[in-house]
Structures are given as structure tokens and as C-alpha cells.
Chains A and B, each alone.
Chain A
Amino acid sequence: MSYASFDPNALTTGPKSDKGYREWGLQPQSEYRFELAPNTSIGIKLVDGYAECFGTELATGIAYLFGGECKAVIYTHSGCTLEVCGEPATEYTSEETAMGHYRSASILFEQMRILSLAIVDGAPLDGLNPQNVPATPPHILVLGPENSGKTTLCKTLINYAVRGEPWGHDEWSPVLVNVDPGDGAWSVPGSVSATSVSTSISTSTSACPLGLSASTAPTVWSSNALIPLTYWYGHTEIRRNPVLLERIVRNLGTRVQERLEVDPKGRAAGLIIDTPPAFAPSSSGDYRNSLIKACIESFKVNIILVIGQEKLHAEMQRTYGRSINVIRLPKSGGVVDRDHAYRQRVRNHQIQNYMYGQKVEIPNGCDNGEGSYLFQHEPTSDLSLAPSSTVVSFDDITIYRIGGESMAPSSALPIGASRTVSELLPLHVDPSSPSSGLLNSILALLASTASNGEQYDEELIDLPVQGFIIVTAIDIPNRKMTILSPTSGTFSGQTAVMASIDWQEIV
């Protein structure tokens, strides 16, 4: 398929529906946007030209399947023709795109990576060093208000980064950090995690905004088997326990730094941090400054990207502008306002996806035999997983809850009053108490520590998560409960932490 064969002067064409699919001709630097209704799926095939989905280039002639209420964008820089089969709830094209800015920024970050690697390698630069570009790996903090496209920007920047080519090495593997507990990232909502990414992250469903964590299914791209390091915050809202979140963020930062130190060449790829909307000043609370500070310090941030909001940009510039480059990028016109109900549905999807995986219907016209379509970069539409259900005794698992049961925010307490329960104190949860709230609750199974000796309670919150389990039934008289776990295993002697996230299987 030659690049020249596409005529960029052709007008953007509307849908032509004669053969069960619709053809869209896209002008250079424009995008095709779509939103899906629940339980529908579409397939998008690149016929001609170059196109990409949040930085992931599409292969020609292969239908990319989207499902799970996905809202996404196909962007083309030089013009392209797409075939769309299936019925999106909304679809349109637009020439107002922020991708140009995002691409420029990504080239800038690429320069930083190249410079850092050249220094590690001792490669001569021959005076190529661009002015004003620091020769340090980019450590980027992305900030912005709700519905500004933070996660999308992070994904786009990562996808552009892994398309770069460090000489003499495989490819960049930047670290993607998610400190937004409202976004499940690679597992379930309430988690805070980081992973290193070496190939493009796919966009297919709202349940996996940043790609998939490892499962036993055969994976085509190694990015499909992302290996995150996960900590459990357990709430979707920051204000539930900002002290705990800060501690977790700092823990994660320490671990990420340790990892980067092991690998001086990998270090050059840098890292990107996705943040919760509560870091933007629209929400009240004095905790956000300390959380932003925690991110900047523990991840050694040297670039702050602010999407949209000028107020936030000015504030960051004032506070950190002396030592950190603060850059404002425009918000993409394609960002959709997601309401509370939608976010709630997405969270349920994510938990469902963590346990059961995902499957989409192949829309008519996409299935032309093996290899004719891709879902999550896999040549299959069925990524179902089989979790395991186990009955365990109350005594097998020790369950904790961090902080008081129902904590009001500090600001809501009477002036001068202090908490009676420390935010970081693990409290034992008794499953035999009817008010334990364990039923349908998501528990984080903590990684067992190497030392089998005595453990201080507070150390619990510094432990990463081994996996998530859900209590699906409690039998108090027999002191037993049924737990759903992603994979089989023994649970005796394990420690789990519950919080405020519940999930119920929709039958």
C-alpha cells in the first residue's frame, strides 16, 4: 500500500454504506472519533494511508475490534481511508486535534532520551546537542482536571516513546505509573501501580485503558503481558485517605527508582505519571499539594504537563517553575465528558475484566478468517479468562482494613478535633461479625514477605499486592467464606486488605 496513492486533496467523505461497512476518508491531520453504547462492538480497518489510535499505528487491512463502551479516536497525519463495520453510538470526524502538540512534545521527550542514552553509552554527539533540551531522562507528571484526557495523553506519549529507536538496544521501555486510584489501570480500581512498557499499548475497551496485565492467555505483543507493581489504596476517591495515598505513592516511587537504578540504559527511557483529577485545583482539599509534591519528589519529576487549565499551569509554574519545566498542552476536542454512572460502569467492567477477561462480538464484515482482526492486539475476539472459586476458612486469611471504618475527611472534623483512629493503622476485620462488610468486597492479597518473622502491623501498608480476590459468600455458622480469585492457589496464612470497593457479579 503506497503512501502516495492516497489523494489528500479528496474531501473528507461521509459514510458510504453499501456493503455492510462504511468508508471514511480522512483529511490530513484529522481524526475519526467514535463512542460505543454498552454491549456493542465495531471493527475499524485501515484501507489506505497511515493511521494510528493514540499513538499505536494501525496495520493495513486488519480490523481492529473495539468494545466495552470504548470511546476512542483514529488519527491520521497524512490522510487515510478507513472502513468501519458495526454501529457506534456516535461517530464523526474532526480536524481540530491536539495530536500535533502531543507529537511535538513526544519528539522533544525523544530528544531527552537520546541525549541521556548517548551519555550513558559515551556516544559522541558531534555538537548535535539541541539547545535548551536537558540531557536527562524525561520524568513526566501529567496533570489536568476531570475529563481532560490525562490517561489518553499518557498512553499516547508512551506509545510514541516505544516507537523510538535507541541505537544498539532493543527499544525504549519507559515506565508508566498510574497514581489515580479511580482508574483501574492494569487491575482493579483502587490500585496504584507502575509497569514498564516496551511495545504499544492497545486501545480496545474502556476496561483496559492502559493495556492488559499478564494472564495465561497466549499473548502476541509482550505489552499485552504488562507486569505491574501494584499497591492497594482501596478507594476511588482521594479524599477518603490522602495520608495513605501519599504513603503508597512514595513507596511506589522508591521501588520504581530502585528498578531504574538496576538498569542504567533503561533509565534513559524515563517515566510518565498519570494522576487523578483531584490533583487539579477544581476540587478542594489541602491534600492535593502534598500529593503532587510526593509524586514530584519520589519519581524525580523534571517535566510537568498540564492539560488545558491555565490556572493549574500558572500555579505549577509558580510553585515548581524554577526547577521543573512546566508545559501546558491543549485539551483535545475529542475528550468526552464522562458522567458518574459511566465511570461506575467502567469500574465494574474493570473488575469483571480482571477476573473473567473480555470477549467482543465480531461485527459483521470483519471476520474474514484468521488474522483478519485484532482485539487488544490479539488475533482473537475472545479473551475470556477463568477465575477460580475457593471456599476457605475464616482462619486461613487474616483480613485488615486500613484506617477507621468510616472516616470523615479531616476538614470535616470540628476545629481542633483530631482523628481517633490513625489513617495508617491496620485494623483487624472479623469475618464472623455480620457488620464486617466483607461480602462482595474486593480484597487485596498482599505479597508475603520474605521474612517469616514478626511483622509490625503498619508494615502491611508498605507491601505490594499479589492479586485481588472477592468475597462472594460468607457462611458465618461454619466460619467459611467463598472467594473468587483470578487464578487458583492456596490462601492459608495469607494477609488481605479490604477497603471500600465492592463488586457483584451481574447474573
Chain B
Amino acid sequence: MSYGYPQPVQQPIPYFSDSIQFRQFYAHKLRGLTENSKPAIHALSMIAQDFVRWADVVVQCIENHIRRIPPPFKLTAFYLLDAISKNLYEPYARHFGPIVVPLFLDTYSQVDESTKAKMIEMLATWRAGAPNGRELFGAVPQLAIEQEVFGTGTSSDTTRVTSAQVLGELQFATGQAEREMQSNPYNNTVRNQLPVLHQLRQFVEKGLSQDELRQILNQLRNITRPPVQPPPQSYPVAPNMSALPPPTTYPQYSYNHAGPSSAPPQSHPPQPAYPQGVLDVKPSFPPAPPVQAVSAVPLAPTNQLSVPAVSDIANLYSALVKAGVVGAPGAPPVASSNVNEPQPVSTDSSSKNISEHARKLLSQRIELSTTGIARYKPDFDELFLKRTVQCKQCGRRFSDDATGKKKLEDHLDMHFRQKRKANKNVGRGHSRSWFTALDDWIHDVGDLKGKSRADRPLTGKLAAAEEKAKREAELRAMFVVVAPGEEAKPFSCPICKEPMKCEFLEDEEEWVWKNAVKKDDKMYHATCHAEAVISTNTLAARLKNEERESRSRSGTPEVSVSTPTRSTPPRALQPRASLSPSPARTSGLKRKAEGDESSLGGTPPMKKFEVSL
């Protein structure tokens, strides 16, 4: 499905040269949306459809709008968000996904009771709001909102080791190692440690089982913690660690020389900050002693400290390989056999590592002075031309690797679209745009090119959402190896009745059922099973379910049978049919796919229009 190009405009809509103008226009239109009017919402979503290339602008406008307007009007704006996401879905639902959780929750806390009820109705429709019957904004935001609104039902499981928690600790260990590297770049032991840590991080991100996570966590703690430390079991805060941006360490400023700089590293109070808040963590780490202060004497202990650490990680790693957790074919660089050799970090696997090209540039020796520049004769073409592919139409170059080729593809698509646009616009007058408003200029970082706003500060809720995402990913990564000869046999999850997906896992060299877990000889979707376990255990969830159903407004059709599971089954194979699924079926085992159009629930009564392809 491609929405790269706007469909012919069915109503007079001004022509926009750039996102700025469009932003102004859309924001202005939004301000007119003060009552729950079907035509108004329809018109605004039509515009969103026409300008799908500026989906990010639309999304930002709506978000800003919802945040700015007084509480009584917020619901209407949410109906618009809902309508756009459901009817247009791609890419809007994807764009709303990251912001919808805080937006919903913040709004929810501000509005009155009756609006709250309406919002909950709307939230219920989001469960199966996507065209494929999945959660409209993805399982994670849905869960995050529901847990916040209905109260969490997961508290029973405190000793669970989440991958987020492990990631947090990994992040910490990596940060520590990097700080060490910066203060002492020639410390080989730390240098060996880093790639291993990065590698581990990737595996954890891919998702590991409980046991493996616990194993990694324990090992990590042995490494980063002196033995005296009591073995801490559950940190409420630790998962949030992963939400921390990588430590910004400007060496010349950030070392505050708090500790006695000549003291050996062990004398620093080691990491007591864990159980405290996230924000407490960073400052209380002892700064690594600056290079010049490290005399020969304290160096030795540093090594003594780090050497076991490296081998520990290596041991852990090899244990994981043995256990089959870490696929051996996919993990070349970190050889478990020889840890003393500095291992190159594979560049494309982690954006955190400096690229080969950057290394080459850094290895050039130029003195920052008039004579230094005059004396230096770079082979510039060698540095900038040799490993690149060029766009034949404009001469722009891209690096000759997977990312570069992807960029070139996008770039050529862009040429194509522009050409089409140019042909379409023949005979039409263009004009210079007004300059953008100050606020937009300051904040438009990346807007124009659709870069993600990675720097949005993570609130607690977002961090929670991230944890959910990790948990979800972790569940989805679980699999059951297909018994020989059963590849063709269809399996359905007993909870959601959906067929299970069979896939070939390269790392394992086996056919497996994805997202699967085996319990009592029955195979379930791992996600369904987890949800089922949670919701059967939680009275509150059930109560909330019933309450919500009784609140459904009159326009909503039948209330479906309440069952302990409130899972929303994945319906990957279901043809996209109903764009406005039934809201009240929060616990439905099976949804009607066709002809279920009367149920609009929390969505404003707005008809779907076909999103043309």
C-alpha cells in the first residue's frame, strides 16, 4: 500500500508548498473544531488523507491542539484522532502510536467523569481498531493506557526479570565501561568488554526467556557490583534505566573530580544509587579518574578489577551460546574462545559505534592552525567518493552499504514523486512561501524529512510504555520448535482461535511456531497466554470490564459475553473489512468481520471512506 502521493482533492483545499504552511492551515482548521460535529471531523480527516505525506505535521497539530484546548473540547479532538487513525490507519495510527499514551492519560486526568466514560468507550474500540483487528495503536500503548486507567493487574509478579531491567543494567555497565574508555582509551580489558556488552544488549533486545535474563542479570551484577552488595531482587526503578539516553559525557566538562583523583577506582563508592530514582543514578557514579591523574600505581588495580569482568562476560556469553540462547551463526565478532584479542565491533549492527568512514576521517592528522591546514594534503576524493553509490539524477552520494542503499532507494523514490508532482503542476502558478513561525523554526528539527523525534523527553508513562514494549517483544520472541513433520499442520491458539504462524528461524535452523508457548501440552500464543494469566488473576480487570460494558452508549450494539480473557487476538489472516470495529467487544472471543458497521462506539458517527490505494 502506498500513500506516497495525495489523492485528487475532492474539495477545494489550498495548495501548500511546504509543511510549514500546511501546519498553519491545519492548526487553524483545528481551532474551528469546537463541537462534536460529524462534517467537521470528516473534513479534517479528509485533509489528513490528502496530505498524508505530512502525516507527522497533522499528528503534531492534533497533539498540540488537544493539549492546548480547555478540557470540555478535548473529547471532540480525540474523536478526530480516533477517526483519522481508524479510517486512514496507515500511516496515521503509526504516527499517533508513540504519543497517544501520554496524550490520552494526561487528558483523562483533566476531564470530568462523563467525558472519562466516553474516553473509556473510545479506548475500548481501539483494542481492535486496526484494519487487521489488532490494537489500533499497537498492543503496547493500548496496554499502557488500560493499565493506567483501570489500575495495574500485574503486581502479582514482582520477581519477574524483565528484559527492560536487564537492558537497564546493561546500559549502566556499558556506560561505566565507556567512561573508563574515555579516561583511559588504551585499557584493553575495557575495550574488550565493550563489544561484548553491546552484543549482549542486542540479544536482550531481541528477547530472551526468563531464565536467561535472570542469568545475564546475575552475571552482570557480579561484574558491576562488589561482592559486599546485598543481592537486590527487585528495583522498581531499574527498568527505567533503559529509557535514559546514553550518557552525554563531554570529557572536558563532565568529570567533576569529585573523588580524590589519584585514588584507585575501587575506593570510589560503587553504584549505590540503583534503588533510588533514575535521576539519582548518574551523578552519584564516581567519575573515572582523568587520564593524567592515573599514575602507574593505580593502573594496576584497574586492570585487576576489569580482567575478571571480561572473562565473566565472556563466560556468560559462551554459556548462552551453549544454551542455544544466542545463535552462534549470527554472532561472529565476540569469540568466546579468545577474549584477550581486541574485537572489532560490527559497525552496521549498532548505530552507537562510530562508522568506518568516521574512523578513516579521524585517523587523518591535521593540526588546527593556519600552517597545519596548509601543510595537510588530503586525498579528499578517496575520503568522500570511493565507497559510495551516486544518484545519477543529481549527483548526490550515499554510502555503499545497506543503509546507504536504502537511502538511495528512498532518494530515487523522492525524485520520482517530485517529477510526478512537477508534471501535475504544469500551468499552475507557484509562489514563495511565508517564512515559518519562530517556534516552528526552533522545533522543526527533523520535521521536514520525517526524522523521528527521538529526543522527546521520556516521561514516566512513556518509560512504562517502553517497558511494556520490551515485555511484548519478549513474549513475541518466544517460540516452540515444530515437531518434525508437523510444518503443514495448522495450529490455532486455544485462547484467540487464531492460527499460529510457522516460521523458519535462521539462528536455530529450525521451523518454529512464533509467539508460542507450550503449557500442559497445549500450545498458546505467548501473548495471549500472558494476558490470560494476568486477567484471570485480576479481579479488578474483570470488574473494569463489566463496568465498561455497562457504560456503552445506546448506539452501540450487543454487549458480548464476558469471559475471563480480554485478549485481543491477532487476526493477521483476516481480510481488512470493517474499519470501525465494535467497541464493546472488549472481551470477544471472535469478532464479526463483515457487516458490523453499525457499531461506532466511542468514535464520532463518521462514515468510513475508502482509503484509496
Interface, chain A (partner B; CB < 8 A): 3, 50, 56-62, 77-78, 100-101, 103-105, 107-108, 110-111, 114-115, 118-136, 163-170, 187, 196, 198-200, 213-222, 225, 227-230, 255, 258-259, 262-266, 303, 313, 325, 327-330, 354-355, 357, 371, 374, 377, 379-380, 384-388, 447, 450, 464-467, 486-489
Asked whether B559 is an interface residue with its Cβ less than 8 Å from the other chain, the reply is no
Within 8 A of A (CB), among B244-262: 246-252
Q: Is the CB of A215 within 8 A of B355?
A: no
Asked whether B397 is an interface residue with its Cβ less than 8 Å from the other chain, the reply is yes
| A397 vs B502: C-alpha distance when bound (angstroms) | 69
A-B contacts besides A219-B418, A465-B435, 18 pairs, CB < 8 Å: A62-B395, A119-B251, A122-B174, A131-B365, A163-B397, A167-B354, A168-B351, A213-B432, A214-B17, A216-B15, A221-B394, A225-B17, A227-B18, A227-B448, A259-B441, A265-B455, A355-B432, A388-B431
Q: Is the CB of A111 within 8 A of B364?
A: yes
Q: Is the CB of B368 within 8 A of A215?
A: no
Q: Is the CB of B185 within 8 A of A59?
A: no
**Number of chain B interface residues as a range:** 35 or more
| A258 vs B385: C-alpha distance when bound (angstroms) | 35
Q: Is the CB of A357 within 8 A of B362?
A: no
Q: Is the CB of A227 within 8 A of B380?
A: no
| A202 vs B438: C-alpha distance when bound (angstroms) | 26
Asked whether B425 is an interface residue with its Cβ less than 8 Å from the other chain, the reply is yes
Asked whether B519 is an interface residue with its Cβ less than 8 Å from the other chain, the reply is no
Contact of B368 among A62, A216, A325 (CB under 8 A): A325
**Residues of chain B with a CB closer than 8 A to A255's CB:** 438, 441-442
Shortest Cβ distance from A250 into chain B, in angstroms? Answer: 15
Q: Could you list 21 A-B pairs, sorted by A, with CB under 8 Å?
A: A103-B378, A104-B374, A107-B364, A118-B354, A119-B248, A122-B247, A133-B368, A163-B384, A165-B358, A166-B358, A168-B352, A214-B18, A217-B430, A218-B425, A225-B17, A266-B445, A355-B432, A379-B393, A385-B430, A387-B431, A467-B432
8 cross-chain pairs, A with B, having the tightest CB-CB distances, nearest first = A168-B351, A216-B17, A59-B395, A386-B429, A486-B432, A167-B355, A122-B246, A127-B185
Closest to A445 in B: B434
Q: Is the CB of A214 within 8 A of B418?
A: no
Asked whether B462 is an interface residue with its Cβ less than 8 Å from the other chain, the reply is no
Q: Is the CB of A59 within 8 A of B392?
A: yes
Shortest Cβ distance from B380 into chain A, in angstroms? Answer: 5
| A168 vs B419: C-alpha distance when bound (angstroms) | 29
Shortest Cβ distance from A79 into chain B, in angstroms? Answer: 10
Asked whether B120 is an interface residue with its Cβ less than 8 Å from the other chain, the reply is no
Asked whether B302 is an interface residue with its Cβ less than 8 Å from the other chain, the reply is no
Closest to A259 in B: B442
| A355 vs B429: C-alpha distance when bound (angstroms) | 12
Q: Is the CB of B429 within 8 A of A385?
A: yes
- If A123-B353, A258-B442 touch, whether A264 touches B418 (CB-CB below 8 Å) is no
Shortest Cβ distance from A258 into chain B, in angstroms? Answer: 5
**Residues of chain A with a CB closer than 8 A to B451's CB:** 170
| A465 vs B432: C-alpha distance when bound (angstroms) | 14
**Residues of chain A with a CB closer than 8 A to B425's CB:** 217-218
- If A220-B415, A325-B368 touch, whether A58 touches B191 (CB-CB below 8 Å) is no
User: Which one of B194, B250, B436 has the greatest number of beta carbons of chain A within 10 Å?
Assistant: B436
| A355 vs B443: C-alpha distance when bound (angstroms) | 27
Closest to A258 in B: B442
Asked whether B533 is an interface residue with its Cβ less than 8 Å from the other chain, the reply is no
Contact of B20 among A167, A227, A355, A486 (CB under 8 A): A227
Q: Is the CB of B393 within 8 A of A371?
A: yes
- If A62-B393, A114-B358 touch, whether A464 touches B435 (CB-CB below 8 Å) is yes
Closest to B345 in A: A124
- If A57-B397, A255-B441 touch, whether A124 touches B435 (CB-CB below 8 Å) is no
Contact of B385 among A50, A230, A374 (CB under 8 A): A50
Within 8 A of A (CB), among B412-429: 414-415, 418-419, 421-422, 425, 429
Q: Is the CB of B353 within 8 A of A114?
A: no
Closest to B386 in A: A3
Asked whether B522 is an interface residue with its Cβ less than 8 Å from the other chain, the reply is no
Contact of B431 among A120, A215, A228 (CB under 8 A): A215
**Residues of chain B with a CB closer than 8 A to A129's CB:** 185, 362
Shortest Cβ distance from B381 into chain A, in angstroms? Answer: 5
Provide the B488-512 mask, 1 if CB < 8 A to any CB of A, else 0: 0000000000000000000000000
Q: Is the CB of B394 within 8 A of A220?
A: yes
Closest to B370 in A: A328
Q: Is the CB of B445 within 8 A of A124?
A: no
Asked whether B158 is an interface residue with its Cβ less than 8 Å from the other chain, the reply is no
**Residues of chain A with a CB closer than 8 A to B351's CB:** 121, 167-169
- If A123-B353, A218-B422, A329-B373 touch, whether A128 touches B359 (CB-CB below 8 Å) is yes
Asked whether B150 is an interface residue with its Cβ less than 8 Å from the other chain, the reply is no
